[in-house]
Structure 1
Amino acid sequence: MINNAIEIKENLLIEESRKKVLLVINCLQGGGAERSVLTLGQGFYDLGYEVHILRFKSTVAYELNDDFIYHQLDFNSYRSIPNKSMQHWFFAKVIDNYVHKNIGSPFLILSNLDRADRVMRYSNLPNIAHVIRNTISKKIELFRSQGKKVVEADLSNIYSRHPCICISQGVEKDFQNTLAITNTKMIYNPIDKKQINQLALDFEPEFDNYLIHVGSFKTQKAHEILIRSYAKTQKKLPLLLLGEGLLLESMKELALSLGLDGHIHFLEFQKNPYPYIKKAKFMVLSSLFEGFGRVIAESLALGTPVISTDCPSGPSELLPAHNLVPVSDIDALANKINEAMIDISTYQYPFDDNLLPANIASQYIEFMTVTD
């Protein structure tokens, strides 16, 4: 009994001495940013940190890691406040009090995506940094094309208070140029190669000899470009489209109108897409813009070749020029797909082990140590 008590006390002391990392995000729905947050958390955990994840909604599309400590505070309770800035200000105070009482003093707090950023901008907690996950000028262009009002000065106000960590060189350069903010650091997204390859063995996909695209059906991913490009190929291999979103039904109609019924398969969102990616002959991306291009790095980690549009940031930092085509160029993408369907060997490219979770988490720790 005495030995057990000593062991319990020692374990408690170890837990108390661990530095804590807090990752803040609106929810854990099925997107690349959400997966990146969970992967980065694993990197911190592997380095001996206590990992806390705070979200504002209960939505979860991924398996939750039992090594993490999860928290939820409901943002919807504050939507009745007429002014959005006041909603965010009040909620930030709730978060500050909650963290002080239930978590303590994190070594690092990372805010992820728009909702969290708008709230954490008002937080008085120490050691906060925003993770910038997309090419902000392109997002502004897209929002304005949809009739949404975006003011660069408002965004500068959100991101000027705390340091900003950009997930690619292109994202950082664009962020600095667009918002005139220089307190930035570039750190790539983490990719858990070991876990991805384990998950790829979970089941055997029902398809053989196919190409694949994984991504939400939204304007940014440019499924229309991909489908129209594929229609111009010899269609030697079928195309699998994994994802869901507002544009899914219209893309199904487009494929049908182009006579691609039987050639394109819509498999909707897959909690575990890795068996499909690993078995594919190659991955193809048609995006208008990407921050990093997580699915590219994941495909390379599985040994699956990738061809992609040459977005302003992301793909060119992960792939050689031979694997890239101009954005929105239907004919160029069709030619590249045709070439890859005939001989994919020239598009093979190795995975960069610098992207492993512990390596990426170490860069965050170094950044915060220098910042302090």
Structure 2
Amino acid sequence: MITTTTTQIKEDSNKKEKVLLVINCLQGGGAERSVLTLGQGFYELGYEVHILRFKSKVAYELSDNLFYHQLDLNAYKSVPTKPLRHWYFAKMLDKYVTKEIGIPILTLSNLDKADMVMRHSNLPNIAHIIRNTISKKIELFRSEGKKVGEKKLSNIYSRHPCICVSQGVEKDFQSTLAVTNTTTIYNPIDKIQIMESASEFKPEFDDYIIHVGSFKTQKAHEVLLKSYAKTSKTLPLLLLGEGALLESMKELTTSLGLDNNVHFLGFQKNPYPYIQKARFMVLSSVFEGFGRVIAESLALGTPVISTDCPSGPRELLPPYNLVSVGDIDALAKKMDEAMANADIYQSSFDDELLPIKIAQQYIAFMTKSD
């Protein structure tokens, strides 16, 4: 039996066209924040927006403008194989959506688990949102001993159109999986909401460098810490986030003699006051899909230095703000320059990233696909 939790559907809901966004959960990640922001963009365009997730976990404040649903995928663990489980769950999901929500004009699938389910769905106008450089994800999984096959992934993503969050992601996706029914639409950034959130409280630190991101291999915190150790360290480094590699990064901090300079602040539901007050933001990632925190920093007027990942940062920042992936000395040099004069790394925010503008691109893509 499907376990559900939904908001009460408004009496006039059948008068509005509906958009459905599907994701595993709403935990504290960039993809989850992007789903909620995109939902707001569709709402601003006049659509009725539904968010459907498979787990109850929520790390963000949920807007009253959207409707929320939960269908429990774990309730089907007794189905013998994952492919069969995903197929069966998709049929249950279609039945639920048709009965409780109505037929959406657009359904957007987000992240791996949702994609594996929604490839079997028969709802109209489904698209997968591709949020990361898939070749790099495959490399990472294989380095961790996980089996990943390009053919299997091609089968998942070849049935429905795929919308990539950067041009770099789209190019990599096409070349890796030979899937060509793709386009690029950037992640939405709610500049007004971000600026309002940035004024909610005053951080306990006055002048600092900041990094926001989960402690996982992709973010390469070890490169950031080793680079910072080579700087003058005239400003402290704040690290916001949680993740599997948190404790090992704390140990590295100690071994580099940085305990008095580096501060681990954990996951922050509202990181924007910290970002706004920072002298500059720094990213050391091995790969990014879009680099959401870069765009958020630019919305707040905070300069950004980043590694030049295969996709994302170079589409948001000028070349001078970028360094080669894994180049500890080059990153240290730029951090020293920014500690002395962060203005040389200032960049402007592109208003085309506002939620309503991005939502319009999705509707235009759907109309074209029809």
- Give the TM-score category using the shorter length: over 0.9
Equivalent AA in structure 1 for residue 369 of structure 2:
T
Matches within 5 A, 1:177-188: 177-188=175-186
Runs (4+) of structure 1 exceeding 2 A deviation are none
Look up the match of 2:272: 274
Shift of 1:294: 0.0
Q: Distance in 1 between matches of 2:342 and 2:72?
A: 48
Q: Distance in 2 between matches of 1:139 and 1:80?
A: 29
Q: Distance in 1 between matches of 2:105 and 2:88?
A: 24
Matches within 5 A, 1:177-326: 177-326=175-324
Shift of 1:80: 1.9
Look up the match of 2:27: 29
Return the match for 1:358 from 352, 356, 359. Answer: 356
Q: Deviations over 1:9-68 (max 9, x none)?
A: xx955x322110000000000000000000000000000000000000000000001111
Matches within 5 A, 1:61-76: 61-76=59-74
Matches within 5 A, 1:340-355: 340-355=338-353
Q: Distance in 2 between matches of 1:216 and 1:223?
A: 9
Q: Distance in 2 between matches of 1:62 and 1:108?
A: 24
Look up the match of 1:5: none
Matched residue count: 361
Report the TM-score when normalising by structure 1: 0.96
Q: Deviations over 1:175-232 (max 9, x none)?
A: 0000001100100000000000000001000001100000000000000000000000
Q: Distance in 2 between matches of 1:74 and 1:12?
A: 26
Equivalent AA in structure 1 for residue 265 of structure 2:
L
Shift of 1:116: 0.1
Equivalent AA in structure 1 for residue 106 of structure 2:
L
Q: Distance in 2 between matches of 1:204 and 1:291?
A: 31
Return the match for 1:49 from 39, 47, 50. Answer: 47
Shift of 1:82: 2.1
Equivalent AA in structure 1 for residue 159 of structure 2:
R
Gaps of 5+ in 2: 1-9
Q: Distance in 1 between matches of 2:79 and 2:97?
A: 23
Q: Distance in 2 between matches of 1:29 and 1:154?
A: 27
Report the TM-score when normalising by structure 2: 0.97
Matches within 5 A, 1:3-152: 12-13=11-12, 15-152=13-150
Q: Distance in 1 between matches of 2:183 and 2:21?
A: 17
Q: Deviations over 1:311-339 (max 9, x none)?
A: 00000000000000000111110011011
Shift of 1:144: 0.4
Q: Distance in 1 between matches of 2:77 and 2:234?
A: 52
Percent identity for Structure 1 against Structure 2: 75
Shift of 1:81: 1.7
- Aligned partner of residue 224 in structure 1, secondary structure: helix
